[in-house]
Amino acid sequence: MVTYLLRRIGQAILVVVGVVILTFLVQRVVPGDPAVAWAGPRASAAELARVRTQLGLDQPLPVQLWNYFVGLLHGDLGISVHTRQPVASDLGQALPASLELVGTGMIIAVVVGLPLGLIAARFHRRPADVAVRLGSMLAVSMPVFWLALVLQQVFATALGWFPVAGEYLNSLNQTSPLHVYTNITLIDALFTGNWPIFTSTLEHIVLPALVIAAYPAGVVAQMTRAAVGDELVRDHTRMERALGFPERSIVTRFALRPALNPVVALLALVFAYALVNTFLVESVFNWPGLGTYAVDAIRSTDTPAIAGVTLLIAIVYVVANLAVDLVQAVIDPRVRLS
């Protein structure tokens, strides 16, 4: 187990190093002069020279790459051209809101997709199976921004069941100010007993979380159906039926656990995909997270911020894959030998 863990950590570090080099090179090849973006188009030649020295752009490229690595090891992702604040600080403010939204969506996806996949596998080629397959295909193929706009128009604008946009009512900042500890509003409000902001955030997060959950729920349902269906035709399930075990027990006790490996492996990919999808969702629902920050960075050609967002998503993806590999090794010891 230790050898397997060390091997997977080493592979993860190599991937992160490759992403760091790639993001550094992208910053250097994109059109535009970072010094001009920082100092402004009307800056004098002397001012531009001073900014290039300040940003280290006057040094050879290998030296810049080395300094970039050293800065990352110290948590320095550079200074945002748009906010004039450290990119690491900006990401620390924006990422928790995105994780709150994506985490809620993933919980909904697993709670909905896993039982639907089991139902589809249990009633193979029956109406329930057909309905689950059609629903999952629709959820997977539906454009995220279109679903977000439809839910917003129907349930927020037309029916008025949920708020249109935002994280919670802005007026609550005066009447019930929130004490921030984790920057995850639901957790901070729950731990501090701030029920007005907690309930308001729950109301605001429903629609964007449902949009985020649509694709993962469809994929989880399809994968669960396929994996459990494969287990139900194996020899051990035939023996269990011959021993008189009820079909429900066979599905939930004997077929589900070995089928969880591909489902768990899929969750890492789906989580990373959902984290990217949140960019569009946050724009539609005005959710103050990583997507909103990335959109502002792209509009202002803020290359340090764009590189920081890219690197952060890559690290989240690598860490998620590493966590999934460890969970798979615990579920199925055969994985450690692969």
Per-residue pLDDT, averaged over 109-135, amounts to: 85
Would you state the pLDDT for residue 208?
92
pLDDT at 213 over 80: yes
Establish if 81 belongs to a structural domain.
Answer: no
Range of the domain at 55: 34-76
Residue 91 buriedness (CB in 10 A; 0-12 / 13-18 / 19+): buried
Q: Check: CB of residue 116 under 8 Å from CB of residue 132.
A: yes
Q: Is residue 8 part of a domain?
A: no
d(CA 62, CA 300): 27
Asked if 110 and 220 count as a contact pair (C-beta separation under 8 A), the reply is yes
- Please give the backbone phi and psi of residue 83, each rounded to the nearest 5 degrees, phi first: -95, -15
CA angle 206, 287, 207 (to 5 degrees): 20
135 and 275 part of one domain: yes
Both 52 and 107 in one domain: the answer is no
- Domain boundary among the residues 76, 98, 131 is at 76
Q: How far apart, in whole angstroms, are the C-alpha atoms of residue 259 and residue 282?
A: 34
pLDDT tens-digit map of 307-317: 888 888 888 77
Q: Specify if 47 maps to a domain.
A: yes
Q: Is the pLDDT of residue 210 over 70?
A: yes
Summarize pLDDT for 105-119 with one digit per residue, the tens. 989 998 998 888 888
d(CA 132, CA 113): 9
The answer to whether residue 267 is domain-embedded is yes
Q: Are residues 191 and 325 in the same domain?
A: yes
Q: Say if residue 97 is in the same domain as residue 186.
A: yes
Based on the fold, state whether residues 158 and 130 are members of the same structural domain: yes
Residues 40 and 133 in one domain: no
Residues 39, 112: one domain?
A: no
Domain assignment present for residue 14? The answer is: no
Selected residue with higher pLDDT from 57 and 150 = 150
Residue 51 parent element (H or E):
helix 45-55
- Residue 7 within a domain: no
Q: Is residue 72 part of a domain?
A: yes
How confident is the model over 121-141, as a mean pLDDT?
Answer: 84
Same domain, 138 and 283: yes
Average pLDDT over residues 194-214: 90
Q: Indicate whether 38 and 101 sit together in one domain.
A: no
Q: What is the mean pLDDT of residues 158-173?
A: 86
CA 207 distance to own-chain centroid: 17
The residue to which tokens 């620390």 are assigned = 92
Q: Are 189 and 51 found together in one domain? A: no
Report yes or no on 19 lying in a domain. Answer: no
Section 222-250 average pLDDT: 68
Same domain, residue pair 153 and 269: yes
Residue 104 maps to which CATH number?
A: 1.10.3720.10
Pair 256, 329 in one domain:
yes
Averaged pLDDT for residues 75-98: 82
pLDDT tier at 209 (50, 70, 90 boundaries)? very high
* Predicted pLDDT at 290: 83
Domain count of the fold of the chain: 2
